[in-house]
Chain A
């Protein structure tokens, strides 16, 4: 069930189908959230910035096969960058998102240069070491990060000069929904690009990819740059909607959590990342409040079950169902 490219009456067709679908779908989800949980907008806003982190992780882990437990570094660095920019006087929310995106790209490239160099255990260890290095720096450089007390006093200007970041969180929410929609649309186009497809080839068989002349390392670093941009927007959103950036933004827990959400939804699918992130966080919000240790048990069981029985996560289940239906029809 693929959406046919929309023709605009021109000599060539502009395949905008899946991008428009992404925009519309996220917009609808946003509206749904607004209507169903009108008093929980702060929670939903936070959910969206984490979802962007998971999307960024999907790009490197799902599409490139990089095993990393250090993705939060990109998110956190961007959050601190946007926070500092705001405190320094740059209060336009859109410019702050841009600052976050740029910081994320830089962090992403640095991260990629280190992590994409090796595979296997070395890669994993490097990703953890990088993440912990950034966390240690964040703790030490208190002038930029506030250390363990957090970077506070982030007060962005109203969106379009009109919509205030107030107690009810409407402006924050719709800004986040908008950012997510635009990014999903952009990524929908991106993952169909030749570049992205070559990255998937690298993921599937590194050796063969090299044999057909694909330069693996530079491609992975480039993908890390894109991933950094997405994580960067997420981090910036988190900073300006919360008003505080804490050390938890660069923590190992944040990285591990993102990976779990990605696996639940299905790595290697954009919608998998989205669905996994949303479902996990909503579930956590309503279930985990009793006792996080019990929640850990559930998450552990879920991970084990997914690896053994459903390695593609939820999206694979959806895919299989679709294929079965297609086979029955055809």
Chain B
């Protein structure tokens, strides 16, 4: 029994970490720019596609492919930021944001299908990441351990970025009071652009390392959008710790649900989401949106 619990926790943590890496970017965007970016999953998907192309068609090694994916996705996202997202920052009208970002999502799905076709695109793992690893009491897929490590490093790096760097200080100032920050000379438009790039880059990275759990195909952007939204909503916008907690919690709910009552999996997941939103309207660790 204990082994089963440990086993489930391992599965939950690895699934949760994949969710975290992708969702933290969305949480940051929500926290700073107050934008509910439904197209976030679409950018993760683009990252996955670029990595797949680099690995399969260009024969690049895995880590290089991941780098290409992240940088490539950021470059692709810049026009969206300049032309579209810029216009809806800090506008509290959620309907407008919903419509614009859904539009972006549909657009990206269609284009990706046009360029890459409708089938699942594999992101082949290098030999040192594939296959099972024997950790004593059970076999764990090697890439899951990799995802956990990536997630932990990402969380750590972000914490350092926000807490210990100049950029982080300015970012937090702008989140707290953007007008004041501007009057103090902080270039909020540059800040927003950099944050957008960071969010998109994280999404792309998550799309690449999570490709085993969330396979890359054109409808990826819509299929998993709900999960990312739920993570941000439960964890509270703009909170790293909250996003981590939410990812882990949802990973655990999903994993235990699948283990004990798989046929009710979906039902309980969404019922749990509804319950959590009612119990923690501002998320587990988030703050009241101002």
A and B in direct contact, judged by CB atoms within 8 A: yes
Chain A residue numbers with a CB within 8 Å of B135 are: none
**CB <8 Å contact, A67 and B270:** no
Interface set, chain A 48-71, CB cutoff 8 A to B:
61, 65, 67, 69
Cβ 8 A contact of B110, one of A136, A294, A306: A294
Give the residues in chain B near A303, CB-CB below 8 Å: 99-100, 102-103, 106
Docked-complex contact A137 and B99, CB < 8 angstroms: no
Q: Name the B residues within 8 Å of A299 (CB-CB).
A: 103, 106
Task: Please name the residue on chain A nearest to B105 by beta carbon.
Answer: A300
**Given A136-B270, A293-B114, A293-B118, CB of A125 within 8 Å of CB of B277:** yes
Chain B residues with CB below 8 A from A307, complex form: 88, 96, 99-100, 103
Cβ contact within 8 Å between A124 and B98: yes
Chain A residues with Cβ below 8 Å from B88 are: 307
In the complex, whether B226 has a CB less than 8 A from a CB of chain A is: yes
Q: How large is the interface on A (under 10, 10 to 19, 20 to 34, 35 or more residues)?
A: 35 or more
* B104 contacts A by Cβ under 8 Å: yes
Q: Contact at A293–B94, with CB atoms within 8 Å? A: no
The answer to whether A119 and B106 touch (CB under 8 A), given A136-B270, A137-B267, is: no
Asked if A297 and B110 sit within 8 Å, CB to CB, the answer is yes
Name the residue on B nearest A69 (C-beta): B98
CA–CA, A75 and B35, complex, Å = 30
Q: Which residues of A contact B237 (CB under 8 A)?
A: 121
List residues of B (43-83) whose CB comes within 8 Å of A's CBs.
none
Assuming the contacts A123-B94, A133-B270, A133-B274, asked whether A263 and B99 have C-beta atoms less than 8 A apart, the reply is yes
Whether A306 pairs with B99 at a CB distance below 8 angstroms is yes
Contacts of B103 in A (CB 8 A): 299-304, 307
Residue A191, interface by CB 8 Å: no
For chain B, which range describes its interface: under 10, 10 to 19, 20 to 34, or 35 or more residues?
A: 35 or more
Contacts of B134 in A (CB 8 A): none
Q: B129: which A residues are within 8 A, CB to CB?
A: none
- A216 interface hit (Cβ, 8 Å): no
Given contacts A300-B104, A302-B103, A307-B100, contact A129 B111 (CB under 8 A): no
B246-282: contact bitstring with A at CB < 8 Å (1 yes, 0 no)? 0000000000000000011011001101100110010
A-side contacts of B36, CB under 8 Å: 120-121, 124
Q: When the two chains form their complex, are residues B107 and A125 in contact, meaning their CB atoms are under 8 A apart?
A: no
Residue on B with the closest CB to A125?
A: B233
Measured between alpha carbons, how far is A311 from B274 in the docked complex, in Å? 31
B175: Cβ under 8 A from any A Cβ: no
Quick check: A122 and B106 within 8 Å, CB to CB?
Answer: no
* A301 touches which of B107, B229, B278 (Cβ 8 Å): B107
B84: Cβ under 8 A from any A Cβ: yes
Q: Are A119 and B94 in contact, CB atoms less than 8 angstroms apart?
A: yes
- A221 on the B face (CB < 8 A): no
Residue of A nearest to B39 (CB): A300
B289 on interface, CB distance cutoff 8 Å:
yes
Q: Does B147 lie at the interface of the complex (its beta carbon under 8 Å from any beta carbon of A)?
A: no
**B266–A304 contact, CB under 8 A?**
no
Which of A132, A137, A300 is close to B107, meaning CB atoms less than 8 Å apart? A300
> Does B28 make an interface contact (CB < 8 A)?
no
Residue B230 is within 8 A (CB to CB) of chain A in the complex: yes
B114's closest neighbor in chain A, by CB? A293
Say whether A297 contacts B273, CB under 8 Å. no
Residues of chain A contacted by B111 (CB below 8 angstroms): 297
Are B278 and A294 in contact (CB-based, < 8 A)? Answer: no
Is there an interface contact between A121 and B84, defined as CB atoms closer than 8 Å?
no
Q: Are B278 and A117 in contact (CB under 8 A)?
A: yes
Q: Mark A104-129, 1 if CB is under 8 A from B, else 0.
A: 00000000001001111111111011
Is A259 located at the chain interface by the 8 A CB criterion? yes
* B5 part of interface (Cβ distance < 8 Å): no
For residue A94, CB closer than 8 A to chain B, the reply is no
Residues in A whose Cβ lies below 8 Å from that of B289: 120
Judged by a CB distance under 8 angstroms, whether B2 is at the interface is no
Q: Which residues of B contact A294 (CB under 8 A)?
A: 110, 114
How many Å lie between the Cα of A114 and that of B113 in the bound state?
36
Interface readout for B118-132 with A: 1 if CB under 8 Å, 0 if not? 100000000000000
Contact B98 A67 (CB under 8 A): yes
Contact in complex: B229, A128 (CB < 8 Å):
yes
**B226 close to A132 (CB less than 8 A):** yes
Interface residue A224 (Cβ < 8 Å from any Cβ of B): no
- B110 CB to nearest chain A CB (Å): 3
The digit string for B220-240, where 1 denotes a CB below 8 A from any CB of A, is 001000100110110001000
Residue of A nearest to B273 (CB): A129
A136 and B281 CA atoms in complex are apart in Å by 24
Quick check: A308 and B84 within 8 Å, CB to CB?
A: yes
The chain A residue sitting closest to B30, CB to CB, is A121
Judge whether A252 is part of the interface by a CB distance below 8 angstroms. Answer: yes
Q: Which residues of B contact A129 (CB under 8 A)?
A: 226, 230, 270, 273-274, 277
User: Which 5 A-B residue pairs are closest in the complex by CB-CB distance?
Assistant: A303-B103, A300-B107, A297-B110, A300-B106, A296-B110
A-B contact pairs, 28 of them (CB 8 A): A114-B274, A120-B36, A120-B289, A121-B36, A122-B281, A123-B94, A126-B277, A128-B229, A129-B273, A129-B274, A129-B277, A132-B226, A133-B271, A133-B274, A136-B267, A263-B99, A296-B109, A296-B110, A299-B103, A300-B102, A300-B103, A300-B108, A303-B102, A304-B84, A304-B100, A307-B88, A307-B99, A308-B100
Known: A130-B270, A293-B110. 9 other contacts (CB 8 A): A118-B277, A120-B289, A140-B267, A252-B222, A260-B102, A293-B118, A296-B106, A300-B106, A303-B100
